Chains A and B, each alone.
Chain A
Amino acid sequence: EDKVVQSPLSLVVHEGDTVTLNCSYEVTNFRSLLWYKQEKKAPTFLFMLTSSGIEKKSGRLSSILDKKELFSILNITATQTGDSAVYLCAVRTTGNQFYFGTGTSLTVIP
């Protein structure tokens, strides 16, 4: 059975902290891994990773994929209250289906 598991389920940090969110997967016919940010509305796309070891960066956010160990991490440095959201990890298969984890809820306290 294909599955995507995220950890931790929730996280509370103070502004300025650095956080690491984890995503592991067991999905046949892997094509790519995607990260989304969801505030109280639709998920918004952050990163897509297809190759191991190549870090993607966007400002204070970065992500890397390990296709051998079947996991990805999303790092957020110097967190701000605006980073508070649910972060979703998804795996796309070669058949163009997407499997989502249940998400990590991040709360950043001022």
Chain B
Amino acid sequence: DAGITQSPRHKVTETGTPVTLRCHQTENHRYMYWYRQDPGHGLRLIHYSYGVKDTDKGEVSDGYSVSRSKTEDFLLTLESATSSQTSVYFCAISDSSGSSYEQYFGPGTRLTVT
């Protein structure tokens, strides 16, 4: 398995509170991604990073921000959580060289906003 961990794995928070999810990789891959997965919508890209301090928005980026200060860590922040952000969040990594064109996923974080 690709070396990707996510923390926390489960979180319950209240509406209006800030939340930060962490993704950590040991593969030294260049690209990192945050997705959310909801019934009927599949996996939707929130933000992605193509290098340290280089990030870009995905299709559902409103209400989310990201930061990548080190190759191995990619943080997703909900500045003020809303109930519509209740979801399962997956981090993924990929590269663009050798056999690493595939994208590998972390175990996921289940976030509930009450």
Contact = CB atoms under 8 A, between A and B. Distances in A.
Interface stretch (B11-19, B68-76, B78-86, B99-107): B99-107
Contacts of A34: 102-103
Interface residues of A, number: 20
A101 B42 CA distance: 6
A42 B94 contact: no
A42 B105 contact: yes
B42 A100 contact: yes
Contacts of B44: 100
Interface stretch (A14-22, A62-70, A91-99): A91-99
Contacts of A100: 35, 42-44
Interface residues of B, number: 24
A102 B104 CA distance: 18
Contacts of A48: 101-102
B40 A92 contact: no
Interface in B35-80: 35, 40-45, 48, 50, 58
Contacts of A96: 31, 48, 50, 94, 96
A32 B100 CA distance: 12
Interface of A: 31-32, 34, 41-45, 48, 88, 90, 92, 96-103
23 contacts: A34-B102, A41-B107, A42-B105, A43-B43, A43-B105, A45-B103, A88-B43, A90-B103, A92-B94, A92-B101, A92-B103, A96-B31, A96-B48, A96-B50, A98-B92, A98-B94, A99-B45, A100-B35, A100-B42, A100-B43, A101-B42, A102-B41, A102-B42
